[in-house]
Amino acid sequence: MTGIDVDQRKCDGLNRGESDIPDVTDCAVADLTEAGRLTSVTHLDAAGPLDTVIICVPTPLSKTRDPDLSHLLAAARSLTKHLRPGMLVILESTTYPGTTEEVVRGILEETGLRAGSDFFLAFSPERVDPGNTKWTIENVPKVVGGLTDDCSRLAARLYAAAIDRVVTVSSPRAAEMVKLLENTFRAINIGLVNELALMSERMGVDVWEVIEAAATKPFGYMPFYPGPGVGGHCIPVDPYYLSWKVGQVGLEARFIELAGQVNGAMPYHVVDKITDALNSHAKAINGSDVFVMGVAYKADVDDIRESPALEVIGLLLRKGARVSYHDPFVPVIVADPRTGGMPLNSSEYDLDAVAEFDCVVVLTDHSAIDYADLADRAKLVVDTRNAVKVYAPHVFKLGAPNV
Ligand SMILES: NC(=O)c1ccc[n+]([C@@H]2O[C@H](COP(=O)([O-])OP(=O)(O)OC[C@H]3O[C@@H](n4cnc5c(N)ncnc54)[C@H](O)[C@@H]3O)[C@@H](O)[C@H]2O)c1
């Protein structure tokens, strides 16, 4: 197995037996490298002959929220020199329906080799849930869509060697759409529950109580939870790949846009909530000391890509707050550069020190923290995750009326 990554630092680390993904242990990587079963190189030229190439490069959005396929184009172009008859090429990067057939196939066929007859081509979405110990690579079914039946069969056989169940769909574009359905479903449901949280605050209802009770329904419902916004490189990004593509066929992805507006407004609502909390102690944001608990986009991961915490902190800094944060997984952040945010280092979590802050804001509910202790000591708490189970006048909860 050869890992190909343009990042020399990543390759060096892997070759030393070090994992750069929290869910994968150093031990697992070292076992492979020591046995000579995994070598990482920065260019395909150094990889030697390959039977299968899986492309899993980033697919972010541009500044105008359009798909940025630059990494994918570069990866596909670098492959043309090495494409040979019988090779299997699988795209795993999340992207809009049609990318494998229109973009990747087009580039690879510039070699004169034909997809489906000379080489095999398929799409198979990644379905990793970072931090999830129950659903792992092995037991999460893998969806595969090949350009031809043979392409699907070959790709399915490859994954079946390592994954319990492989689900084949009729085409790469169907497989691409599967991934976008899954993540759009999440983005929209989070948008719905975020809006419900705002409604609940106004109507004197506790949204957390409502969600917990609704979740007892054994059919037709699954719980989603409100929060300070959506983060990670999937939920805030992937639905826009779909809305961009349907725009080209004259349709508007209205649910996606609406969920994006609701979710995108949450950091601003959190700052309003902090303003209210400080106001209850006759204080303004300007000049207050605010301590943020957790900046990763979700609990127990180290990923800050698209994390709403960066936006909340940026807004607080812009309004004149003095912000410190603690995150056991994230040693340093640069808050939203539009706000002039400076790099911030994670502070030690010391309850005596935290008790001195004007307000503590829970943005990510990492499981290592005792939130009851925190609520006991802090002067004011704004809790966006229902981490603090205590209801008290000094605890302001997203989606719930103040006591
Ligand atoms: N990580 C996940 O949990 C997850 C889950 C579902 C889908 N995805 C999708 O998988 C894709 C990759 O995501 P990720 O989180 O692994 O991204 P990442 O940024 O962590 O890793 C991608 C790697 O690709 C390398 N790279 C960029 N251009 C390259 C090139 N031309 N040749 C070789 N290497 C190159 C980068 O250096 C980087 O190390 C994205 O489309 C993402 O949406 C990821």
The answer to pTM > 0.85 is yes
Q: For the stretch 260-274, what's the b/e string if a residue is b when 16 or more beta carbons lie within 10 angstroms of its beta carbon?
A: bebbbebbebbbebb
Shortest-distance Cα residue to atom 12 of ligand 1: 58
Q: Which of 82, 126, 135 to mutate to test the pocket of ligand 1 (most atoms within 8 A of CB)?
A: 126
3-state SS assignment for residue 291: strand
Q: Is the CB of 183 under 6 A from ligand 1?
A: no
Q: Is the CB of 56 under 6 A from ligand 1?
A: yes
Q: Is the CB of 58 under 6 A from ligand 1?
A: yes
Give pLDDT, residue 163: 97
Give pLDDT, residue 152: 98
Determine the atom of ligand 1 nearest the C-alpha atom of 95: 41
Sheet containing 289-293: give its strands across: 322-326, 289-293, 359-362, 381-383, 395-397
16, two tokens: 């030393």
Q: Which of 233, 301, 303, 306 to mutate to test the pocket of ligand 1 (most atoms within 8 A of CB)?
A: 233
Residue 151 is a catalytic residue? no
Q: Which amino acid is at 365?
A: D
The answer to whether 59 touches 123, Cβ cutoff 8 Å, is no
Shortest-distance Cα residue to atom 18 of ligand 1: 58
Give pLDDT, residue 130: 85
Q: How far is the CA of 165 from the centre of ligand 1 (A)?
A: 23
Give pLDDT, residue 341: 66
CB < 8 Å & 24+ apart, contacts of 247-254: none
Name the one residue in this structure whose structure tokens are 């923290």: 369
User: In the chain, which stretches have pLDDT less than 70?
Assistant: 336-341
pLDDT digits (tens, 9 = 90+) for 110-127: 999 999 999 999 999 999
